Each structure stands twice: as C-alpha cells, then as structure tokens.
Amino acid sequence: MDTELDPSARPPLLVLRGIVKQFPGCLANDHVDLQIGEGEIHALLGENGAGKSTLVKIIYGVMKPDAGSFTWRGETRTVASPAQARALGIGMVFQHFSLFEALTVSENIALGLNDPKDRENLPARIVDISTRYGLPLDPTRAVHDLSVGERQRIEIVRCLLQNPKLLIMDEPTSVLTPQEVHKLFATLRRLASEGCSILYISHKLEEIRALCEAATIMRLGKVVAHCIPAEKTARELAELMISAKLKEQSFSHKTISTAAPRLVLDRLTVRSNQQFGTDLKDISFAVAPGEILGIAGIAGNGQSELMDALSGEIPAGTPRNIMLDGAPIGHEGPRARRRRGCCFLPEERNGHGAVGPMTLAENGFLSAHVRGALDRLGLINRKRTQEFAAQVIKTFDVRTTGPRAEARSLSGGNLQKFLVGREVLQQPGVLMISQPTWGVDAGAAAAIYEALAQLAAAGTAIVLISQDLDEILLLCDRIAVIAAGKLSPPIPVREATIETIGLLMGGDHTAEEKHAVPA
Amino acid sequence: MLFRLEPRGLRSDFWSYGSPVLAVVLTIVTMGVIFAIMGAPPITGIETFLISPLTSPGGIGSLLVRAAPLIMIGVGLAFCYRANVWNIGGDGQFTMGAIFGGGIALLLPNAPFWWCYPLVLVCGVLGGMFWAGIVALLKLKFNANEILTSLMLVYIAQLILVWLVTGPWRDPQGFGFPQSAMFGAGATTPDFGTTSIHLGCVLAPLLAVALWLVMSRSVLGFQLRVVGQAPRAARYAGFSNARLTWIALLVSGGLSGLAGIIEVTGPIGQLTTTITPGYGFTAVIVAFLGRLHPVGVIFAALLLALSYLGGDAAQISLNMPNSITNIFQGVLLFYLLGVDVLILYRIRRVKPRIVEPAV
C-alpha cells in the first residue's frame, strides 16, 4: 500500500499536512495529508464516517482544524469561513442543494453572490458560462420545474461565476442519471483542462477510475493510501476503502437453517417519505429462527426506509409484503408488530430510538410497555417501569446514575447499550436492528455483539442493517447488499468476498448477476 | 467590549425556571420606565398597578375571578402545546362554549338548577370542543396550519356571537342593547356568600391538578410528551399522531369552552358582544410563563389576572389608558421569549480582535 504522497508533475495548488479534527468521542481526521495539483481531478474516497466530509468542511472553511497546515499556492493560510474560502478561489457543490423552488435560476444564483458587482448582466453571464461548459440552463426558468440534474447545474454555474481555482464536488452523481453523469464528466474534464482543480468525493469506484487522475483514500479518519486510480482495479480500491479486517471476537457462522422462516419479505416496495430519500424496490428475503441476516450497503441507499418499513412506521403496500410466522403484517403499526413478538431499534438514537430529555425509565417504557406490560388501566406502572430500566442497566452494564437519569446525559455508547438492552430483554421472536454499534467504543460493541449472538442462539431471527462490513462479516450468517433501494439476493457470509460485496455496494449490477447463480 | 451568544449544548435547568422570574422582573422595570414617560412617578405607578388591586377590599376575590378563566384555558393550551399542537384560538373556543351553553340556558329559563346547570356546562364544553375540532380536522385532513386556522376561527366565533345577540337572541326587554336576556337561576354559576368568588375559581385549580396528573402519570400524557419532544420516536413507539392531535385539541377546546360558559353564567350573567377581554390570547402567555406545567399555569394566571385589575386601577387613580394592561402583557411576552435564549445559550464576553483580511 502506497502511503507516500504521489510525486506529481503538476505544481501543487493545495497542500494539507497533518490535519487533525477531534469531535467528542471520535477522531474524525487523524493527521490527514492531501495534495491537489493545479488542473488535477483528485478523488477523495472512503466509506461513510471515514472523515471525508470533515476534511472537506475544513477546506471550505466551515470547520476549523485542531492542528495541521493549509498551504494554498505555496502560502500558508487559515480559512476561517466559507466566504474566505470563496475569496481564495474555492467553490463547493454540496450533495443537497440550497435552492428556492419558487425563484428563477438567475434569482437563485444572484442570492448566492455577495458582491453587487457580480450581479450585473447576470442572465447573460449565466448563459455564457453554461454554454461554454456544456451546462445548458435557461436563467428565466423557475427552479421548481427543473430536473435534479438541472438543479445541480445551477449550483455548478454559481461556483463557476466566481472563477474558482478549486471546485469541490460532494457525491455529485448520487442524484444523476447515467446520461447526466456522462455530461457532467465532460464538463469537469473541460474545467480541469483550463486549469481548475477538482476535488471529487465519491465512493463509486468505477467513476473514480474513469475520471480522476489521483486519489486519496480515507478510512476511520486516517489516510490509508494515495494512488492513481487508473492503475488500480475496482477490487483493490474497494479493499483499501473498506479493509475488512476481522475483529478479535469470532462467532461461528451457521449453515442456512432449514426451519420455516419467521420473517419473510416478499417484493416489498415502498416510496420514501423523505425529500432526499430512497424508494425501496422489490425487496425480498427470509430469516429463519436463530439466523442473523446482515444487510450491508453505503448510507442513504434505502436502509432507513427499510427499517421504517420493518418496524411499521411506513406501512407496506399490501399486508402480504411482510409475513411473520406465516401471518401477513405489512399493514400493522409498530405496536401491533411488537405484540406479535417483533422488536426494532432504528439507527438514529436521538429523537428516534430514544427521547433525549426523558429519563431512562421513560425511554424504557417507550418501546417496552407493550411486551413488558408496564402500563395498567391507562396509567404508567411506575414501579415496573423503574424495575425494567434498572434491569437493563444492570444486565448491560450501562454506566449511569440510574433509571432517573436523562437519556441525553449518557454517552453515545452507553445509551446505545441501554437501547439494545431494552430490545433484547423483551426477548423478541424477531429483532430488526440498524447500526447497533454506531459511535460505540470497542468494549461496548463487543458487549452488544455478545448479546445479539446469544439472542440468536436462543432462537430469535435477527435482521442486522449495518454500514460496518466488519460487523456483518463477524456476526451474520448470511449477507445481502442494499444499493439504490434494491437488495441483492442474500448469500452465506462464508462464500462472500470483499470484491463482490464492494461492487454490490457501488451498485454494480453485473456483480449482482454473478450472485444470482453462485458457483 | 463585545458579547457573544454561545450554545450551551444542553438545556440549562436553572434558566428553564429562572427565565420566567427574570422576565417578570424586567417587565416590572420596563413598566416603571413607561409610567415615568407617561408622567406618573414610577414607584407609585407600579404600586398602583401591581399592589393596590390586592390590598383593596374584595381585591383577592376579583383576582380569583379574573384568574379562573385564564387557568382553565391556560392548562388546556399547555396540554396542547406539549404535544406540539399550536392552538392559539382559545378565545374562539371560549366564545363558542359561551354560545352553546348560553343557548341552552336561554332555552330553559325556568329549569331547576340540579339538572339545568350541569347540562349548560356540558354544552359549553361541547361548544369549545366543536370549535377546536374544526382545527383538528383541517390540520389532519388538509395539513392546514393550526396556528392560522385556530386564529381565524376566533373572529368567526366573535361574529357569530355579535350576530346572535344583535339578532335572534336579543333580549326583547333589553331596550335594543346588543345583549341576551339574563340567564335564569337554574343556569347561574353559584358564588360564595358575599364575595365575588364563584364555583369556577375552585374548579380551575382542581382541573389544573387533574391535568397535571394526566400529563405525568398516564400513558396518554406520556404519548403527548413524546410526540411533542420527538415526533419520530412517537412514530417508532407506535403512537398515533392523528389521535393525539385530536385529543390535544379537543381537551384544550373543551377547557376553553368550559371557561366561556362559566364566565357568562357567572360574572356576566348573560350573553353580550364582549364576553372576553382576550382571555384566550392572554392564556397563551399564561401557558408559556407557567412553563407549560399545569401548576406553573396557576401562578402565571394569577399574575396576568393582576394585570387586568392593575389596568383598571391605573385608569382610575393615575388617569392612564386602559391599554396599559395590553402593554404589560406584551412586554412580558417579549421578555419571556427573549430571556428563554438563556436556556440554550450563555452570554460570553469576547475581546475584540483584528480580523485578518481574507486574501
């Protein structure tokens, strides 16, 4: 693995050395080095949570690094705000656009320009730039009837009007059709040939190999490699990015059970209720008692929608889309599903799995009152509620002052242990859990893995949705990959390779076809 | 020297309860300045406004009579706001309660108290529920913002009342005044001896305590709090947002309606065009000043009730305009909202520094 900076023939535009950014409980950037040459298209590659966004926010002046140097065209600088970054010549196109739907293209662009001088002849200049770079835009159209690709062009033109030297693009193709991607690449190559450097953030390996001259690969806050993407295969890039090193714990992967499945999803199709959500298309799988099915995938590919559909927060299209022990439950809400023996834990702790300003006892009541019979005649049974919370705290070694502590007073890992414990102690027949160890330290993670493995050994069917591939490979019996709202057919973990999983994560359908007929 | 607001990260428990007290203090200081500008000695002004109403004969009674509707509407609103449902149409629900209950009372001028009075109260409650139910229906069916619909329904209710008392329900023996006949003895809220204190003054704090128990002990109250603090967690728990929106609005509407019917069957004794000096709006301040806590609402209602009496006193002995009450309430709400910043932020003094040029 090549960790030296790539000796590039191009004069460096931006050099970052030893960037450190510490968040509470998480070192987001750990001595990160990055060098971008003039006119270079440079890829920043990594999984979610690898520290890409933090690094980009530091470059764009949104965040201040704790340590490290920032050298721009040979001069050391500090960038304290996005306005300063723009003044240097750094432009950024965010993944989620900030546009006013009711206003026209040129009105939206004018709103982003601080200097009144820049607003002169704006429509003419928009047309000029957009034709020059192959970004057709009509400045008089209202944003609300433009496609996503056209909206992205507005953001790009807004940056280009300021003659940037460095253009940062955050996951630009995640919202585009293949044809739009093709056009975007032509534009970016043209820009680079005119001397504008581009920092291209993505996890789509083939795109990066096709477009970028150099790449910096990050994992868990550290740079793991600098390389030339065209010289690597997609497999090599995937390995660098996800580096599936097994943890010391190990659990035996069971062979596929022949028992009747407890939970069956049959062509579940759900429209997302979020603005930038992912629709689920034809999701099918079955989980047997005692089995742990892992669902891998990069964030935002439909995991939260799948969790909402499993828990009943979003009803399925027809009741038979979700079957529990042979009974259709797709139409039922979370309480009815709990009564049938399902338990759920969504990815987001704050405000979804738990209510921060409420006590642990109340948070225990939140999901456990149905199965734990913590209420009586419409009143909260305070004694039993306290006892249940105390039992979770004791069994799962939650470090807290007791059931009366507010959930938000606990560290992320401790709260997660409490929440996992709350679901596990209800002894569910089926447990659906998402990101059980997100932001959790190694000790707490090991405790959570142990609890899940024991639960499975006792006969619970578990669906584990996670972006942490290590976790899935460690714990699960079978693995399926969700990409763009579609789920690949599950395969036994023992037969899965990093290469196929990586390609499935990037949405490569040829790999999916290979899976359909396992050798 | 510069000051900067810095996020605390966590809510400050001290300022959650300290901010209403500070807001009251700042309001009193500001009122002193306003009295001075208007030509009254500040100390005398404040004494007249806040102290004299309590020391005058019958003062406490008047205070309780004014506070009763504020408590009843205020606890209902606090209940509603806890669930993140922003009903600000308490005045309209109050008016509708008076109309529904008052209509029954006019229909039965000679009915005996033992069944007539409870019937009148129930109809008042139903009237308020009906008016708030429209808000719930519009919100859930058409996603209409309840702040706007509940406010607009206030004016509709008032116009209906004006139409009734100048038209079909006008007292034939009333010399053409826009008012209904006086209610019969069977539809009059009982009062205690020679004081002006009536049944509502006793009922209101009892209702506040009852609602406090519902909020803190019942599954329903738990559901309301979860839906208000974390709507996604409520969905995860399986609590129905629609059901809770209905309950929140019906309970607060019913309590406002009850306040309305008790007001017209008690202190007023008939339907007139002006049955409320804006109790429903003042109750919004009451709910927030009381930290959306039913018991806090009782204290807040007493203070705001005092502002009505103080306005009368200032008018009589200092020649101030009656709108001094509105000024007091407005200034209080202003400070309360402003000081609440301290719950989430602290004030930091920062040294001025030379800002580096960008390029």
Q: What are the pLDDT digits (tens) for A318-373? A: 899 999 998 999 999 999 999 999 999 998 888 899 998 899 999 999 999 988 88
* Residue A178, CA distances (Å) to A181, A502, B141 in order: 5, 20, 40
Min distance B100 CA to chain A CA atoms (Å): 31
| Mean pLDDT of the B263-287 span | 94
Phi then psi dihedrals of residue A514, to 5 deg: -60, -35
State CA B210 to chain mean position distance. 18
B358 and A87 within 8 Å at the Cβ level: the answer is yes
User: Do A12-242 and A263-516 share a fold?
Assistant: yes
CA atoms within 13 A on the CB side of A46: 24
For chain B, the average pLDDT equals: 91
Q: Considering only CB atoms, which chain A residues are within 8 Å of B232?
A: 348, 351-352
A366 to chain B, any CB pair closer than 8 A? The answer is yes
| Alpha-helical regions (H) of A458-490 | 469-475
A380 and B232 within 8 Å at the Cβ level: the answer is no
Cα separation, B143 vs B64, in Å, equals: 39
| A60, A352, A363, A376: best to mutate for the B interface, most B CBs within 10 A | A352
* Residue B349, CA distances (Å) to A31, A81, B18, B346 in order: 33, 21, 21, 10
pLDDT-derived band at B30, boundaries 50, 70, 90: very high
Q: How many helices (H) and strands (E) does chain A have?
A: 17, 23
Q: Considering only CB atoms, which chain A residues are within 8 Å of B229?
A: 351, 355-358
Q: A203: exposed, middle or buried (C-beta count within 10 Å: 0-12, 13-18, 19+)? A: buried
| Mean pLDDT of the A165-191 span | 81
Element (H, E) at A310: helix A303-311
Q: Considering only CB atoms, which chain B residues are within 8 Å of A311?
A: 236
A380 and B220 within 8 Å at the Cβ level: the answer is no
The strand pair at A222-227 and A197-202 is best described as unpaired
For chain A, the average pLDDT equals: 84
- Option in B222, B238, B240 nearest A365 (CB): B222
Highest mean pLDDT among A207-211, A256-260, B183-187: B183-187
Residue A386 or residue A510, greater confidence = A386
Q: Is the dihedral of CA A457, A463, A469, A473 positive or negative?
A: positive
Highest mean pLDDT among A405-414, A490-499, B212-221: B212-221
A334 to chain B, any CB pair closer than 8 A? The answer is yes
B236 and A87 within 8 Å at the Cβ level: the answer is no
Instruction: Enter the ipTM.
Output: 0.83
Token pair of A195, please? Answer: 């001397």
Highest mean pLDDT among A62-66, A178-182, A283-287, A410-414: A283-287
Min distance B200 CA to chain A CA atoms (Å): 28
pLDDT-derived band at A276, boundaries 50, 70, 90: low
Q: Which option is the CATH number for A263-516: 3.40.50.300, 3.30.420.40, 1.10.760.10, 3.20.20.70?
A: 3.40.50.300
Q: Considering only CB atoms, which chain A residues are within 8 Å of B237?
A: 334-335, 366-367
A357 and B220 within 8 Å at the Cβ level: the answer is no
Cα separation, A7 vs A217, in Å, equals: 16
Min distance A353 CA to chain B CA atoms (Å): 6
Element (H, E) at B158: helix B146-166
pLDDT of residue B351 exceeding 70: no
A311 to chain B, any CB pair closer than 8 A? The answer is yes
Residue of A nearest to B358 (CA): A84
What single DSSP character describes residue A488? P
Q: Considering only CB atoms, which chain B residues are within 8 Å of A375?
A: 219
- Option in B11, B217, B226 nearest A379 (CB): B217
CATH superfamily, with its number, for domain A12-242: P-loop containing nucleotide triphosphate hydrolases (3.40.50.300)
Q: A167 and A211 in contact (C-beta within 8 Å)?
A: no
| A380, A406, A432: best to mutate for the B interface, most B CBs within 10 A | A380
Q: How many helices (H) and strands (E) does chain B have?
A: 15, 2
B238 and A78 within 8 Å at the Cβ level: the answer is no
What are the domain boundaries of chain B? 2-350
* Residue A201, CA distances (Å) to A35, A42, A93, A114, A357 in order: 14, 8, 11, 27, 36
Residue corresponding to tokens 């529904």: B100
What pLDDT score does A513 carry?
44
| Mean pLDDT of the B5-28 span | 83
What pLDDT score does B264 carry?
96
Min distance B218 CA to chain A CA atoms (Å): 4
CA atoms within 13 A on the CB side of A318: 5
Phi then psi dihedrals of residue A49, to 5 deg: 85, 5
B230 and A352 within 8 Å at the Cβ level: the answer is yes
Q: B92 and B252 in contact (C-beta within 8 Å)?
A: no
Q: Please state which CATH number belongs to domain B2-350.
A: 1.10.3470
Share of chain A above pLDDT 70, in %: 88
State whether residue B24 is helix, strand or coil: helix
State whether residue A3 is helix, strand or coil: coil
Cα separation, A388 vs A8, in Å, equals: 62
Angle in degrees, 0-180, between the axes of helices B90-107 and B241-263, rounded to the nearest 10: 60
H/E/C letters for each residue in A13-74?
A: EEEEEEEEEEECCEEEEEEEEEEEECCCEEEEEECCCCCHHHHHHHHCCCCCCCEEEEEECC
A78 to chain B, any CB pair closer than 8 A? The answer is yes
Q: Considering only CB atoms, which chain B residues are within 8 Å of A380?
A: 217-219, 222
A365 to chain B, any CB pair closer than 8 A? The answer is yes
A355 and B230 within 8 Å at the Cβ level: the answer is yes
pLDDT-derived band at A49, boundaries 50, 70, 90: low
What pLDDT score does A518 carry?
41
Residue of B nearest to A86 (CA): B358
A336 and B359 within 8 Å at the Cβ level: the answer is no
Cα separation, A434 vs A417, in Å, equals: 13
Token pair of A247, please? Answer: 């943890």
pLDDT-derived band at A468, boundaries 50, 70, 90: confident
What are the domain boundaries of chain A? 12-242, 263-516
What pLDDT score does A253 carry?
66
Residue A168 or residue B12, greater confidence = A168
Min distance A484 CA to chain B CA atoms (Å): 23
pLDDT-derived band at B219, boundaries 50, 70, 90: very high
| Mean pLDDT of the B249-274 span | 95
Query: Which one, of B252, B220, B254, lies nearest residue B239 by Cα?
Result: B220
What pLDDT score does B148 carry?
96
Cα separation, A202 vs A208, in Å, equals: 7
Summarize pLDDT for A2-42 with one digit per residue, the tens: 444 444 567 889 999 999 988 765 678 889 999 999 999 99
Q: Considering only CB atoms, which chain A residues are within 8 Å of B343?
A: none
* Residue A133, CA distances (Å) to A111, A183, A188, A221, B227 in order: 22, 10, 8, 35, 49
Q: How many residues does chain A have?
A: 519
The edge-to-edge listing of strands for the beta sheet with A280-287 is A280-287, A263-270, A322-324, A327-328
B233 and A353 within 8 Å at the Cβ level: the answer is yes
pLDDT of residue A246 exceeding 50: no
Cα separation, A214 vs A142, in Å, equals: 38
Highest mean pLDDT among A52-66, A249-263, A334-348: A334-348
Cα separation, A59 vs B6, in Å, equals: 24
Summarize pLDDT for A83-98 with one digit per residue, the tens: 888 888 999 988 777 8
* DSSP secondary structure, B222-262, as one string: HHHHHHHH-HHHHHHHT--HHHHHHHHHHHHHHHHHHHHHH
Cβ contacts below 8 Å, chain A against chain B, sum to 71
Q: Considering only CB atoms, which chain B residues are within 8 Å of A80?
A: 356
Phi then psi dihedrals of residue B19, to 5 deg: -65, -40
Greatest alpha-carbon span in chain B: 88
Token pair of A230, please? Answer: 């065209």
| A86, A366, A377: best to mutate for the B interface, most B CBs within 10 A | A366
pLDDT-derived band at A514, boundaries 50, 70, 90: very low
A362 and B358 within 8 Å at the Cβ level: the answer is no
A365 and B230 within 8 Å at the Cβ level: the answer is no
